[in-house]
Amino acid sequence: MFNNADMQEARDDAQATAVNAARRARVSTALGARTDTGGADAILVSNLVNVRYLTGFTGSNGAVIVWADADDRHADRISTDGRYVSQVAAQSPDLAAEIARDCPKALLEYALTRRPGLRVAIEGDAMSVSEFADLKRVAEAGGAELVPVRAVVERLREVKDPAEVEFITSACRIGDDALAALIGRGAIAAGRTERQVARDLEWEMFALGADAIAFETIVAAGANSAIPHHRPTDDVLQAGDLVKIDFGAVSRGYHSDMTRTFVLGEPQDWQREIYEIVASAQRAGRDASAPGADLASIDAAARDVIVAAGYGDYYVHGLGHGVGLEIHEGPGIGAAASGTLPVGATVTVEPGIYLPGRGGVRIEDTLVVADAGPRLLTTTPRTLRVL
């Protein structure tokens, strides 16, 4: 007999299955609209993140074929190996499965039984040269043609649906709460090592329900804070240090990303100066993150603040990136970026100033782009905090 929890889980599973089917339908539409597919009959998706996005399947080996013609949609099919027979049936109940070790090959062979001589788009950046060569031999034997394409699914993933935003919000909340807990118990303090602080923060995230950490936590103290992606060491935090902490959690497969910079003791004038400049630049970048805004112009809104203050040479990276099933995904926000910011994108805004041998500041938030203005998903205060 089903209880209320069972019934809700069944409804959630049915909703997820419907969402995945709708995503595959959008892939079909995109496939027909793009000029680089050469009129492909189907697309063979082998990037595991994209497979998860289109099917719900989370195993370590899999692929899915999606047909371009709506009349063929019933023939979309997934493949995985024998380890995941039960899992694929549970996670992708609306798709028939080919059980094979070489999933792309199995799906191509299946497709050729339906339509010999077809054109199949493949994710050109998701397989090795040798994998492509093996697949090409199968295609040629069946009179088929492979058409390498890029970012068909990734472009669709840039716009998040409400459930995705909810999962990212949950990951952000875990990060905010974990950092607050760490500060509350005085764990970011002189005498502790970068590595100790990083591991404590990661365990706080796990204790709060994180499925995983989003990436290796960055804790960079003193001169190390001038290294944008410093890896934590046994260097000891000291009074007077800037301490930059960049970290994130994973919830339901979705990531969060946040950076805060603290000072241990009363800040020196130069520390306060670069902090306030970065804070102003970050506000400008957030304010510029409007639907339809040119990606390069968003970067410029923040960068111009730092350049005008005389620190342009010490801001050495782009302003931000998309966040979702991957910690770094589209759209990228930088000086050389092309395109515009879509409604529903979840992106970071993270300017910084890095003074070699002295220290650096970065302030980063994750936000969702909305018609009413950007909605911050990370909420830890951005004012300079003395610990």
Q: Of 141, 157, 173, which residue is a domain's last? A: 157
Q: Are residues 110 and 226 in the same domain?
A: no
Q: Are residues 57 and 136 in the same domain?
A: yes
d(CA 232, CA 247): 12
Q: Are residues 296 and 348 in the same domain?
A: yes
Q: Are residues 110 and 201 in the same domain?
A: no
| Burial of 26: CB neighbours in 10 Å, binned 0-12, 13-18, 19+ | middle
Which residues are within 8 A (CB) of 365 and not within 5 positions of it... i.e. 6 or more apart? 258, 282, 286, 348, 349, 350, 376, 377, 378, 382
Which domain, by its residues, includes 27? Answer: 4-157
- Report the pLDDT value the prediction gives residue 50, as an integer from 0 to 100: 98
Of the candidates 247, 244, 216, 222, the one whose C-alpha atom is nearest the C-alpha of residue 235 is 222
Please list the rounded mean pLDDT of every run of 10 residues in the chain (387 residues): 36 80 94 80 97 98 94 92 97 97 97 92 92 94 94 96 97 98 98 98 98 98 98 98 98 98 97 98 98 98 98 98 98 97 98 98 98 96 96
- Report the pLDDT value the prediction gives residue 200, as an integer from 0 to 100: 98
- Report the pLDDT value the prediction gives residue 36, as an integer from 0 to 100: 75
Q: Are residues 129 and 175 in the same domain?
A: no
- Report the pLDDT value the prediction gives residue 14, as an integer from 0 to 100: 73
Q: Are residues 328 and 377 in the same domain?
A: yes
Q: Of 126, 157, 188, which residue is a domain's last? A: 157
* Rama region for 59: left / alpha / beta (φ>0; ψ in -120 to 50; rest): beta
- Report the pLDDT value the prediction gives residue 15, as an integer from 0 to 100: 85
Q: Are residues 22 and 80 in the same domain?
A: yes
Provide the domain count of the chain. 2
